Amino acid sequence: MEITKEIISNLLDGRLADSDVEQLQRMHEKDADRFWKYLEVLQERVQWNDKILLRLTDHLYIVRNGNGARVVKCDCGHEFGDYRVNWKIASRVRVRRTAEEFKEVYTPDQAIPEPGWMTIREYFCPGCAAQLAVEVVPPGYPPIFDLLPDLDRLYRELGRPLEDESEDWFRDRTMDVVANFRR
C-alpha cells in the first residue's frame, strides 16, 4: 500500500476510518518517504514559505526562517524565537488560581485541583490567540519545556542531514534568555 499525500492529509484531518488508521500503524514496512510527504502536506497548509523542519503541536512548527535560523513558528506566522528556547516564555499566558476559575474549565467539581496547591496555565499565540498548551502545575513551577528534539540526529538518521548541523543545536538555551530578564 502506497501512502500518498492525500492519505496523509486525510489522516491529519481525521477523515480516515479507524480501520484504515490501524492498517497504517500496523504496516510491516513503512514507506521510506512518509516523513517527507508529511512535511510537504504541512507546508502546503501554511501561508508562509519558511521550511518546516518538524511539527511540534497542532499550531506550532520548528522552521528554518528566511535568516537561516531554526525557530518555533505558529501557523499564523508569529515567530516565538530560537527553537532551543522554551516557546512558552514568549507566549501570552492566562493563569487560573481560584476554585471559581477552575470550575470554568473543569467538570465535575470533584476533578477540580486544590486551589493553592495547583494553578492552570493556558498558553496562547500573541499573533492569532490560538490556545497552544495547558499546564496544571504547582504555583511558581517553571514552564514545562515539552520538546527539544535533536533535529540534526533525526535528519541524519533519515538520510538527509541538515546543512547547518552542529552539536551546539541540541542544547536547551531557555536559561540563557531568562537570565537576561533581570538585567
pLDDT in tens, the chain (183 residues): 788 999 999 999 999 999 989 988 888 887 889 999 999 999 999 999 999 999 999 999 999 999 999 999 999 999 999 999 999 999 999 999 999 999 999 989 888 999 999 999 999 999 999 999 999 999 999 999 999 999 999 999 999 999 999 888 889 999 999 888 875
Is residue 163 assigned to a domain? Answer: no
Is residue 102 assigned to a domain? Answer: yes
Question: Among 137, 152, 167, where does a domain finish?
Answer: 137
The answer to whether the peptide bond before residue 108 is cis (omega within 30 degrees of 0) is yes
d(CA 64, CA 49): 10
Is residue 31 assigned to a domain? Answer: yes
| Set of cell numbers at residue 156 | 541524519
Q: What are phi and psi of 121, to 5 degrees?
A: -110, 125
d(CA 5, CA 43): 12
Which residues form the domain of 38?
A: 1-45
Is residue 13 assigned to a domain? Answer: yes
Is residue 25 assigned to a domain? Answer: yes
The number of distinct structural domains making up the chain is 2
d(CA 77, CA 91): 14
Is residue 24 assigned to a domain? Answer: yes
pTM of the prediction? 0.91
d(CA 22, CA 17): 9
H helix or E strand, kind and range, residue 5: helix 5-12
Is residue 115 assigned to a domain? Answer: yes
Q: For the chain, give the number of residues.
A: 183
Q: Which amino acid is at 73?
A: K
Strand 70-74 relative to strand 60-64: parallel, antiparallel, unpaired?
antiparallel
d(CA 76, CA 60): 9
